[in-house]
Amino acid sequence: MVHSRSFRRLEAKTQVFTRRYSDHFRNRLTHTIEVTQISRTIAAQLGLNGDLVEALALVHDIGHPPFGHAGEKALDSAMRQHGFSFDHNLHALRIVEDFELRYAAFRGLNLTFEVREGIIKHSHDYQPEDHPELAEYLLDLRPPLEAQLIDLADEIAYSTADLDDGYEARLLTVEQISSCVNMFDRCYREAQALYPKAAEKLLFNEALKRVFDCLVGDLIASTRQRLEHAGVRSLDAIRRHSERLAAFSPPVAQERRQLKDFLYENLYFSPALEGEKEDAERIIGELFAHWMEEPDDLPRNYREKSAHEPLPRVICDYIAGMTDPFIYQQYEKYCGE
């Protein structure tokens, strides 16, 4: 996975802040590395397959288009105008099964069934009747515990990292976070009591470390307790259980929701980032429309694909694989005045 082109491109794809805002903050690649570290720690404590967890963490975001979630929303909107949709998990499966060309014997990457299953099932339960093309991936069953953990580790990683980057960008203040996020307020007060003379930035770091530890520790303890309570002793039992067994405890789940809501209200929809979202909508929308009108402007391999697949899907595949810098170049070339 780490040797693939799609993985390397994560380095130039937006997480929250584009490089035009600053190059100090997380991108898709550094975020992926953080998720991988968290996931391996949790897997080790629960006695799970660490190699599978690492593979799933490394691959979990390769289906994302440029411009972060704003880009995903814009690409889905463009596709829906033509009767299709865009889903980054399903796109990631297309990447590893078809787009990556590394072997003479077959298309795609040499990934196990469990990794490919986890790509589409780690964060979402797809209904078998809605996706008959995914029948081989046991949509009527739960994914293994290794896959269930990835979405939660992902949330721990981006929630704490986005607080950090938002504070560094001076879009969030300690007072603002403390007044809205109980877990952070509690951890910040603990840091103040221990280090009364420390600078605010260091107190912020100490508080954030404690938030991180609280989320990871609770996920480990709660998942272990849920497994014991359910009497689960096999993979088959995990697959057939009525609900996912990897989860936070109810009190921490409530505080985690509070943190997530705060980030949506105060960072992700911040006026300071509105320009980046408008860029994503305009650039993706106009490029998509251009290639629908002028498919001969697509690269040769994508023109050839359009003979066998719907043109909107081919254009979507092309755009989704782009990095932020490359899509700006393409926009300037085909849509710039």
State pLDDT tens for residues 279-337. 889 999 999 999 999 999 999 999 999 889 999 999 999 999 999 999 999 999 999 76
Asked whether residue 265 falls in the same domain as residue 285, the answer is no
Tell me the average pLDDT across 104-120. 88
Is residue 91 within 8 Å of 63, Cβ to Cβ? yes
pLDDT of the residue at 86: 94
Decide: 166 and 267 in contact? Cβ < 8 Å.
yes
Q: Which domain holds residue 293?
A: 275-334
Same domain, 184 and 66: yes
Helix/strand/coil for 292:
helix
> For the residues 8-33, what does the mean pLDDT come to?
82
Q: Which residue has the tokens 């254009």?
A: 315
Last residue of a domain, one of 237, 258, 274: 274
End residue of a domain, out of 274, 289, 309:
274
The last residue of one of the domains, among 226, 248, 274, is 274
The pLDDT, as a whole number, for residue 19 is: 62
Q: What is the mean pLDDT of residues 49-77?
A: 93
Query: Percent of the chain at pLDDT above 90?
Result: 75
Pick 213 or 96 by higher pLDDT. 213
For residue 232, which amino acid is it? V
**What's the whole-number average pLDDT of the chain?**
92
Q: Are residues 90 and 24 in the same domain?
A: yes
Q: What is the pLDDT of residue 22?
A: 64
For residues 58 and 36, the answer to whether their CB atoms sit within 8 Å is yes
Q: What is the pLDDT of residue 74?
A: 93
Give pLDDT, residue 53. 96
- pLDDT of amino acid 332: 94
Distance of CA 147 to the CA centre of its chain: 14
Counting residues of the chain whose pLDDT is more than 70, the rounded percentage is 98
Rounded CA-CA distance 315/337 in Å is 22
Assess whether 214 and 308 both reside in one domain: no
| pLDDT value for 20 | 62
DSSP states of 35-100 as a string? HHHHHHHHHHHHT--HHHHHHHHHHTTTT--TTHHHHHHHHHHHHHTTT----HHHHHHHIIIII-
Question: Using an 8 Å Cβ cutoff, are 73 and 67 in contact?
Answer: no
- Per-residue pLDDT band at 17 (split at 50, 70, 90): confident
Residue 233, both tokens: 């002793």
Average pLDDT rounded to a whole number, residues 191-201: 95
Name, in order, each residue with C-beta under 8 angstroms of 315's C-beta and a sequence gap of 6 or more: 288, 291, 292, 295, 298, 302
- For residue 211, pLDDT beyond 90: yes
Residues 221 and 294 in one domain: no
* For residue 217, pLDDT beyond 90: yes
Cβ-proximal residues to 277 (8 Å cutoff; 6+ apart), any chain: 67, 70
- The torsion angles phi and psi of 221, rounded to 5 degrees, stand at -65, -45
190 and 329 co-located in one domain: no
Per-residue model confidence as pLDDT tens digits over 23-55: 678 889 999 999 999 999 999 999 999 999 999
Q: Are 15 and 122 found together in one domain?
A: yes
Interval 62-77 mean pLDDT: 92
Residues 286, 266 share a domain: no
pLDDT band at 233 (very low <50, low <70, confident <90, very high): confident
Q: 30-34, 79-83, 109-113: lowest mean pLDDT where?
A: 109-113
Q: Calculate the CA 283 to chain-centre distance.
A: 22
When mean pLDDT is compared across 3-7, 92-96, 128-132, the lowest value belongs to: 3-7
pLDDT at position 324 is 92
Whole-structure pTM value: 0.91
Identify the pLDDT of residue 274.
85
- Which band of pLDDT confidence, cut at 50, 70 and 90, is reported for residue 120? very high
Query: Which tokens belong to 241?
Result: 């259980």
Report residue 162: phi and psi, to 5°. -70, -35
Q: What distance in Å separates the CA atoms of residue 49 and residue 128, rounded to the nearest whole number?
A: 27
Distance CA 176, CA 178 (A): 6
Task: Please tell me the number of Cα atoms within 13 Å of 120 on its side-chain side.
Answer: 25
| Spatial separation of the C-alpha atoms in residues 292 and 215, rounded to whole Å | 46
Indicate whether 228 and 297 sit together in one domain: no
Cβ 49 vs Cβ 43: under 8 Å? yes
Which CATH number belongs to the domain containing residue 268 in this structure?
Answer: 1.10.3210.10
Q: What is the predicted pLDDT for the residue at 104? A: 81
126 and 81 housed in the same domain:
yes
Q: What local confidence, expressed as pLDDT, does residue 124 receive?
A: 84
Same-domain status, 234 and 203: yes
Give the burial class of 243: count Cβ atoms within 10 A of its Cβ; 0-12 exposed, 13-18 middle, 19 or more buried: exposed
At 152 the pLDDT is 96
Same domain (yes/no): 90, 163: yes
The amino acid that residue 328 corresponds to is: Y
Cα separation of 87 and 136, whole Å?
19
How many independent structural domains does the chain possess? Answer: 2
Is the confidence at residue 224, as pLDDT, over 80?
A: yes
Which of 18-22, 26-30, 38-42, 137-141 has the weakest average pLDDT? 18-22
